[in-house]
Structure 1
Amino acid sequence: MFGEYYTCTMYVRMQYTGYRKGMGIGMKKQLAGGNTSFDNVLPEYGRKKLLMYADTFRDLANTFSDMPRQEKELQTAGERVSAYSMPEAGGEVQAYGMETGDGLPGYGTMPDERMAENKRLPVLDRQEYLWKRRLVENRDLMAGHLMEMAQIMTRIAEESYRFIHMSERKVKQLAHALREENILLKEVYLLEKENGHKEINLVMRAGKNANPAVEEVGNLLSVLLNLRLVPAGVSSIFVGKEWTGYQYIEEPKFHVLTGVAKAVKETENISGDNYSFMEVREGVLTTVLSDGMGSGEKACKDSELIIDFMEKFLEAGFAKETAVQMINGALIAGGENQNMSTLDICQLDLYTGICEFIKIGSAPSYVKRENLVEQISARNFPLGVFYEIDMETVRRRLMDGDYIIMLSDGILDALSQGIGEEMLPEMLGKITLKNPAEMANHILNFCLHQSRGRVRDDMTVMVVGIWENL
């Protein structure tokens, strides 16, 4: 068997950062008053300090952007290089196109001292041009990074919520229902974010000889509050014996199943393709696939670096477009240790079903809806080639039962030895399998059959199936 696959169910949840007693006291005051307006998450002093830092970063970014002098020098140097590259209309300085003895154009003679000068000056100007161009590109890159940092700080400072008043009767009802399950409740508060999503926070502990599951508590809360709730983030499996804060968020409209099938190039022991499924924020699944240049350990390390960078930037709060630009800038700055890897990104909002694709030098992706298949592709270069990336975000709204299929170049190479890659959408439309893992393995085996069992390049198939929660 050439392919290997696995499948997993992913409910995107927010990680709980721990209960703070100081916050709990404030919650009681808010609940008593039944606040109907949105309040900032950060205290006023901390919010103002963060906004001040954001303004500083924004001013620095504008300072880098408002530097026209270097651009004029760059344009002047470029014009000089272009002038040296253009042949003159006539005269002794031309090596070709001069008049020879018979009056026909051909190779003529050029004075040695003029030839030496012509060689020396263009080289110096070309070096100056390249250095100044690198300075301008680095300046623009730095300005973009500083501006993104300012925006992240501003978003954090302006993050707000609204407390939803819970009547004393409702709180007692919750406490009584939990006590029936041998769970003691200390505090509870319900809040709503600006995006309309609700969450409930409880401080509770398990009673003597009790070992209740955190997920079962969520089911109980869903019934009592008439709101579908699931544990947030990397919650513990069971309610502990100590007073601890537990967070439950509103369940997304959709859930997903994922499947992956891979085959390693026949002359290598390790695949140059790497991938990741990331839960970067509440209700958002990000799927990333990177194909390293070449194959083997070097390609694996290159693509692994791309995936690692992407995870860290997204977790830090950077927009995916900015993360791509920053990764590309880092690869360009690597110089001799050149890393030219592809990057395929698919970000799915499980509350709305909206999916966004960004493709950098990668193979096409496909959206399958029953027997209809749409190809999503982009004609651009991999990361690490040019400073400026031709990047476009493609948006699609997915529905219950849709599938997202992402591939590496090895799949298309295998198809080119058989029916041809242009026939892939037709083949995908005929697949009746429902399990994403089985679908990924089926696609891989079909491509291996087309290449007569030969694996001339690393092959990876990723399938994401989306279904509406009942």
Structure 2
Amino acid sequence: MDKTINSLKSKDIRLNDVRISKFVDANTIIFIIMGFLLSRSTLIDYIAPLGFAFFICISKLDRYKYPVFVSTLLGILLSGNNTGSIFKYSIALCAILILSSQLKKVPSIFKVSMLGVFILSAVSIGQALVGSKYIYDLLLIGMESVISFIAIYIFSFGVTLIINSNNRVSVRLEEAISMSLLITFSIMGIGSITVFGLSIRSVLSTVLILVASIVGGSAMGSTSGVVVGLAFIINNITSAVYMGIYSFAGLVGGAFSRLNKYFCILGYILSWIIMYSYTSGLSSNIMEVRDILIASLIVIILPKSFFDRVGKLVKSNIDSNEIVHDYINRSKNLTNNRLMDIYKTYNELANTFDNIREKDKIINEKDITNLIDMIHNDECTSCSMKRMCWETRFNHTYKLMYKLIENIEEHGEATSRTIPEDFRKECMKPEMIVKVANYYYKLFALDYDWNNKFSESRKIISNQIRNISKSIEDLSKDLNTNISIDLEKEKGISDELERNNISIKRINYLTKGNDDFEITIKRRTCSNGCLCDKRLISIVEDCIDEKLSVQKIGCHTLGSNCTIKLTKAQVYKAVTNVASMSRDGYVLSGDNYTYMEVSDGKYIMAISDGMGKGKKAYDESSVTIDILEKMIDAKIDNEIVINTINNMLLLKSSEEMFSTLDLGIVDLKKGSLETVKMGSCPSYIKRDNGEVDLISSSSLPVGILSDIKMDRHNTKLGNGDYVIMVSDGIIDAGKSNNFGDNWLIYFLQKLESTNPKEIANKILDRALELQLGEVDDDMTVLVTKMYSQ
């Protein structure tokens, strides 16, 4: 029985806790305290409408209106105001409570403010008409109406901010002002209460200014000082001199906030004492210094988490880095999750294609049964021996037919000589049966061939889908790990450019990995388009202490915008020249080539030689080069690029289509060359000292097999080195005079020219000379020279 009673008690306690947490939270307590203190804050000649104005903002919220009503009414009763004012504000407060359900339907805060002013003015005018009827009272009513309207309108922003503080990314200016006024006038509502001679109002006001200075710097410190000083003046506590003292002290204290809070507090105390000494004389009220010191001690004791929470609330108005970083990270996470979902979908789709079962031979057990049925329907149904064969001796006949089909499967076709002897003896028309069996078997064989072709196409599509999913996965990883925005450096560069009188519209600083970055600056074009090359680059280099390379877009278009892209300076520069000639009698060359600088300091050169000659060869090689350019520029992995080209050629036509691919990727920052060869000719590196290195390959061209094997090589490059890439027309030129495949090595060793264009032309001229002026195949030479910058 005792256990039951205890369990019921514990349940009651839990239920009470639930009920309390449901109706009383931190916001409820804050609103109750504010309602009580604001209603005690008396302004000019018994005018105290702030509690009334605050309750109007709360009355639209059912969760808070009754507790705040009680606290505000209690504050009015204990305000120490005259009886008429207490009666007036109490009646107006009750009227608002009665009309609160209707106020919820009014969306405009302007209309709510006007309604509140109308109710308070009606009560005040009625009271004045019954009472003294002086003109002065009517003037006070007008002033009270103006104050009430302003207070209702401003307080509404602060109430909204308190309710939604956990979900806000930033704080608007009007919300910050509203909050400062709510807090300041709540402090004023404390009145002249003292503890051991300490003025609670003075201590809390100083705490407010110090916290604002530490969190927001000079701007918020001086603003808070002005608000506190104004509140003191309105409440007839001090003279107007205090507004200047508080604002100046907040300004100086905020200036030291970048060091730490201790310097901020010290700066506030010293500046307050100095200003007070000059204006009023320090000896006139030495006790205020004591109040400031006590407030400073309270601020020192406050934990760092308190300042972090306050700082996060107003961060967007002071320094938005944390909020922007949080937004960027959340956006990256959402994008990354979405990309990973797409990756998993495509990967599962590729697995579905791979898991489709294929036939491993022309006919299986089920096919044999169907084949026997078809033979039976075509020939046996009209045979006079049908009953004997298929009813009396069914098993025996089925075995004979089965052996016949196995014979066809073994030899590909049954003939009169390969018909089993026992089948010939027992069947009345064996030749017709064999003829029908051969016919249907060929249909199964044809179907099997097509299934194999479809299977191969499915594998190619599956491979390509998996390449797409791999690209999406790589993009997701790259987005999640490598790329980020450095707002601190953006601000530093922007401030430095502004100090040098260079105006910009926007700056973006992207970091890529640990040792790479990209700076994009947008501004109006300068008169001669040379600012980027001179002052701007020099300023940014000094700011980040890095040598930079510049890429300009729109610099010479007057009256427009200019985009300057700055990256880490590249150690090398690459220059490529080409010499080519098509086969005799053909306008279109089967050789296609490209060379270009891509992102991240990479430079690519490529030659593709299509199979055959003329337009067909041109189409094959041009497809290869087009796909290569677009995918390399999109930063897709080289292996995926080659696989995509291979799949494209395999699926593009029912005829055989393939092309060689010789790809060179130069890292201009590190001075290295990566080569990817697919059935292509060797490449040559002529060193600055005259030596020639050979990079050869034994791989097949793309477009022949679905599973490809790439030959990849990495080579170090230096200043003055030449990378020579050629098509097979150049190499084969030496075979006509028995010079072999290595004739180009000896020719390059003896070549003394340093101009890449001249080297390309001399190689082509030598190849033509070896063929006695006849062009048996398309010939292309790409010569790339490396320069150190």
Shorter-chain-normalised TM-score: which range? Answer: 0.7 to 0.9
In the alignment, is the contact (CA less than 8 A) between 1:271 and 1:296 conserved in 2?
Answer: yes
Does 1:222 find its partner at 2:541? yes
Post-superposition Cα deviations, 1:131-177, rounded to whole Å, max 9, x if no partner, equal 33333323332332223322332333342225173497764433333
The equivalent residue for 2:336 is: 47
The equivalent residue for 2:621 is: 303
Q: Distance in 1 between matches of 2:508 and 2:322?
A: 11
Question: Shift of the alpha carbon at 1:187?
Answer: 4.5
Structure-2 change in CA distance of 1:167 and 1:44 (3 Å): closer
The equivalent residue for 2:741 is: 421
Given candidates 418, 421, 424, the residue that maps to 1:93 is 418
Structure-2 change in CA distance of 1:305 and 1:464 (3 Å): same
Matches within 5 A, 1:54-453: 54-67=343-356, 69-70=357-358, 73=359, 75-77=360-362, 92-93=417-418, 120=439, 123-124=442-443, 126-158=445-477, 159=479, 160-161=483-484, 163=486, 165-166=488-489, 171-177=494-500, 179=501, 183-188=502-507, 190-206=509-525, 211-216=529-534, 217-218=536-537, 221-223=540-542, 225-232=544-551, 235-238=553-556, 241=559, 246-369=564-687, 370-418=689-737, 419-453=739-773
In the alignment, is the contact (CA less than 8 A) between 1:264 and 1:458 conserved in 2?
Answer: yes
Q: Distance in 1 between matches of 2:491 and 2:631?
A: 43
The equivalent residue for 1:108 is: none
Structure-2 change in CA distance of 1:340 and 1:206 (3 Å): closer
Q: Distance in 1 between matches of 2:348 and 2:718?
A: 43
Post-superposition Cα deviations, 1:311-364, rounded to whole Å, max 9, x if no partner, equal 233334432222222222222223345433222212222222332222222222
The equivalent residue for 2:391 is: none
Structure number with the higher helix fraction is: 2
In the alignment, is the contact (CA less than 8 A) between 1:41 and 1:161 conserved in 2?
Answer: no
Equivalent residue letter for 2:517: K
Q: Distance in 2 between matches of 1:452 and 1:272?
A: 21
Structure-2 change in CA distance of 1:433 and 1:195 (3 Å): farther
| RCO higher in structure (CA 8 A, sep ≥6) | 1
Structure-2 change in CA distance of 1:116 and 1:144 (3 Å): same
Q: Distance in 1 between matches of 2:490 and 2:457?
A: 57
Percentage of matched positions with identical amino acids: 27
Q: Normalising by the residue count of structure 2, what TM-score does the alignment of the two structures yield?
A: 0.47
Q: Distance in 2 between matches of 1:394 and 1:116?
A: 59
Q: Residue 48 of structure 1: SS of its match in structure 2?
A: helix
In the alignment, is the contact (CA less than 8 A) between 1:34 and 1:163 conserved in 2?
Answer: no
Q: Distance in 2 between matches of 1:230 and 1:284?
A: 13
Q: Distance in 2 between matches of 1:463 and 1:78?
A: 57
Question: Shift of the alpha carbon at 1:33?
Answer: 9.7
Q: Distance in 1 between matches of 2:330 and 2:723?
A: 36
Q: Distance in 1 between matches of 2:519 and 2:575?
A: 26
In the alignment, is the contact (CA less than 8 A) between 1:214 and 1:236 conserved in 2?
Answer: no
Structure-2 change in CA distance of 1:270 and 1:227 (3 Å): same
In the alignment, is the contact (CA less than 8 A) between 1:174 and 1:224 conserved in 2?
Answer: no
Question: Shift of the alpha carbon at 1:443?
Answer: 1.1
Equivalent residue letter for 1:468: S
The equivalent residue for 1:5 is: none
Equivalent residue letter for 1:55: K
Post-superposition Cα deviations, 1:353-383, rounded to whole Å, max 9, x if no partner, equal 3322222222222222233323222234333
Q: Residue 415 of structure 1: SS of its match in structure 2?
A: helix
Q: Residue 417 of structure 1: SS of its match in structure 2?
A: helix
Unpaired runs of at least 5, structure 2: 1-314, 365-404, 420-429
Unpaired runs of at least 5, structure 1: 1-24, 95-110
Q: Distance in 2 between matches of 1:29 and 1:143?
A: 50
Q: Distance in 2 between matches of 1:364 and 1:121?
A: 52
Structure-2 change in CA distance of 1:439 and 1:85 (3 Å): farther
Q: Distance in 2 between matches of 1:295 and 1:463?
A: 24
For structure 1, which segment, 385-394 or 434-443, has the greater mean C-alpha deviation from structure 2 after superposition?
385-394
In the alignment, is the contact (CA less than 8 A) between 2:497 and 2:539 conserved in 1?
Answer: no
Q: Normalising by the residue count of structure 1, what TM-score does the alignment of the two structures yield?
A: 0.75
In the alignment, is the contact (CA less than 8 A) between 2:528 and 2:556 conserved in 1?
Answer: no
Structure-2 change in CA distance of 1:136 and 1:437 (3 Å): same
Question: Shift of the alpha carbon at 1:407?
Answer: 0.9
In the alignment, is the contact (CA less than 8 A) between 1:213 and 1:238 conserved in 2?
Answer: no
Q: Distance in 2 between matches of 1:391 and 1:461?
A: 22
Task: Output the aligned Cα RMSD.
Answer: 3.8
Question: Shift of the alpha carbon at 1:410?
Answer: 0.9
Question: Shift of the alpha carbon at 1:256?
Answer: 0.4
Q: Residue 457 of structure 1: SS of its match in structure 2?
A: coil
Post-superposition Cα deviations, 1:428-463, rounded to whole Å, max 9, x if no partner, equal 222232222111111111222222222221111111
Q: Distance in 1 between matches of 2:660 and 2:503?
A: 52
Q: Distance in 1 between matches of 2:568 and 2:338?
A: 32
Q: Residue 624 of structure 2: SS of its match in structure 1?
A: helix
Q: Distance in 2 between matches of 1:167 and 1:263?
A: 51
Q: Distance in 1 between matches of 2:330 and 2:730?
A: 47
Structure-2 change in CA distance of 1:442 and 1:112 (3 Å): farther
Q: Distance in 1 between matches of 2:557 and 2:541?
A: 17
Question: Shift of the alpha carbon at 1:244?
Answer: 5.7
Post-superposition Cα deviations, 1:106-145, rounded to whole Å, max 9, x if no partner, equal xxxxx97798589657744543443333333233323322
In the alignment, is the contact (CA less than 8 A) between 2:554 and 2:560 conserved in 1?
Answer: no
Q: Residue 619 of structure 2: SS of its match in structure 1?
A: helix
Equivalent residue letter for 2:585: T
Post-superposition Cα deviations, 1:382-434, rounded to whole Å, max 9, x if no partner, equal 33333232323222232333222111111122111232222322222222322
In the alignment, is the contact (CA less than 8 A) between 2:592 and 2:618 conserved in 1?
Answer: yes
Q: Distance in 1 between matches of 2:548 and 2:667?
A: 17
In the alignment, is the contact (CA less than 8 A) between 1:257 and 1:464 conserved in 2?
Answer: yes
For structure 1, which segment, 162-171 or 411-420, has the greater mean C-alpha deviation from structure 2 after superposition?
162-171
Q: Distance in 2 between matches of 1:376 and 1:319?
A: 22
The equivalent residue for 1:101 is: none
Equivalent residue letter for 1:76: K
Equivalent residue letter for 1:61: A
